[in-house]
Structure 1
């Protein structure tokens, strides 16, 4: 498929989304959780499988709320239930510690079958870069674009410290205050911001000096550090607690403020 055709497909998807959102505003309905989705979650989402029965019920409710508010579309493939569940799980996991969280800055998630060229999405972006996921801006504001392959691999490869879906939703959480800067002000108490930034810069120095097991992308900037460290936190919290106890505690306080370690 040539670049022009792919670009047209994306624009058609966005047009469909606008129509969908207009209709959805007139009639909001939360569907019941399909019984067969429970086993899909148990088999593919470790976070869900480790919850008790009561928490799993709450996770299911959050899944259905998210799917009632955010449109998920695919480009060049047929969307399946597992695709929807993995997108929704990526959204729910980072905010599961918050009872009333809703993604006010997201209307649509667009799935490409594989990694994609950023220039196909943002013309003249100046970056000829193959990416696994991104949070949109400009005419793609309130949109997220994900590689289906990367999304699935993030959940299938347990404990590899990489989960593209969670990574991108943490960027959205970071962006709620208007800027993606690695300081999630909706999660961090004001008094913790300076200690957080000091910790971030210390950890980024370790990454860039190849003295950390946090993956290299976390050394790019503060925003990427937050998203990458959050992947680690949710993928293998026990390992992070042993190897990065201060960072683990700070992230735990951010994502689960009502729970004691």
Structure 2
């Protein structure tokens, strides 16, 4: 689920309210990545993240380094009476940092706070019904990603996803994929790519995949990707990311061109973890 708010950008990175020079930021991050990783933390991640044990030792260490940077830079806020535990922070950080495992991204630069609810939460939503009629309703949600500085998750859903890694549904992967998409301030299913020449191929492949999913959903066909991806291109990218990490074999077989684009973007091949 994507939320959008117009914001103004400042050159540099703000951590805990202080503007920091990018060079200083990278030095600080390097120190954090080189820190020894707590065996207790590693055990918590291995217990909750099904594919952790299948990562190479180098990838495990790289993930651990990213987790330490993530936890140092992002604040976690419990909502509706929830007390955020060390396990919650580690699990969310580990899954989110899978998206950055091979240096894909800049630690979600727009994100400052992760809000965690114990279960699904409700928000007020307005919808235009036509003829100048607007309806306001209460809607239950499991997660949201905003372009200003917040991301919202249901811990109950996070835990459910951890126990069903291969079902293609993962709220953390989904919402943090939105963060990557929103790095340029827009949520349109096109993250920042490495080269200008990459955009035309990305647009062609992902637009064709999105249109195919829309057609399949409309006629009630069984799909590899969740039907929610047919909502709009931004949701398609997030759902494709979930499928890429959790159901790589099925995605590669059914949509090899999409798999190739995501493999190039994330610089990862989840087939190695199957």
TMscore range, shorter length: 0.7 to 0.9
Structure 2 counterpart of 1:227: 238
- Shift of residue 111 of structure 1? 0.1
**CA contact 1:48–1:59 (8 Å) conserved in 2:** no
- Equivalents in 1 of 2:84, 2:169: separation in Å? 23
Gaps of 5+ in 1: 1-19
Alignment partner, residue 192 of structure 1: 198
1:13-56 alpha-carbon deviations (Å, 9 max, x no partner): xxxxxxx924897xx79475321121221121123221122221
In structure 2, what is the Cα distance between the partners aligned to 1:155 and 1:81? 16
Looking at structure 2, the residues matched to 72 and 80 of structure 1 have their Cα atoms a distance apart, in angstroms, of 9
Select the residue among 72, 83, 89 that pairs with 1:84.
89
Superposed, 1:155-194 pairs within 5 Å as 155-184=162-191, 186-187=192-193, 189-194=195-200
Cα separation, partners in 2 of 1:146 and 1:24, compared to 1, 3 Å: farther
Paired position in structure 2 for 1:12 = none
Aligned-pair distance for 1:257? 7.3
Q: 2:63 aligns with which of 48, 53, 59?
A: 59
Correspondence for 1:131 among 126, 141, 157: 141
**Matched residue, 2:49:** 45
Shift of 1:188: 5.2
Counting only pairs closer than 5 Å after superposition, residues 1-261 of structure 1 correspond to structure 2 as: 21-22=16-17, 30=32, 32-75=36-79, 76-98=81-103, 101-119=106-124, 126=136, 128-136=138-146, 141-184=148-191, 186-187=192-193, 189-208=195-214, 209-210=216-217, 211=221, 212-256=223-267
Say if 1:116 and 1:147, in contact at 8 Å, map to a contact too.
yes
Counterparts in 2 of 1:60 and 1:172: CA distance versus 1, 3 Å: same
Greater CA deviation, 63-72 or 77-86? 77-86
**CA RMSD in angstroms, aligned pairs only:** 2.9
Q: 1:125 to 1:224 in 2, by over 3 A?
A: farther
Structure 1 stretches (4+) deviating beyond 6 angstroms?
A: none
Alpha carbons of structure 1 residues 196 and 220: separation in structure 2 relative to 1, 3 Å: same
Query: Judging changes above 3 Å, is the alpha-carbon distance between structure 1 residues 257 and 232 closer, same or farther for their aligned structure 2 residues?
Result: closer
Distance 2:146 2:94 in 1: 20
Question: 1:177-230: CA deviations, max 9, x gaps?
Answer: 11011011x235322323322322322233232343211100010000000000
Change (3 A) 1:156 1:62: same
Q: Structure 1 residues 204, 111: closer, same or farther in 2, change over 3 A?
A: same
Q: Shift of residue 125 of structure 1?
A: 10
Contact 1:63 1:92 in 2 (8 A): yes
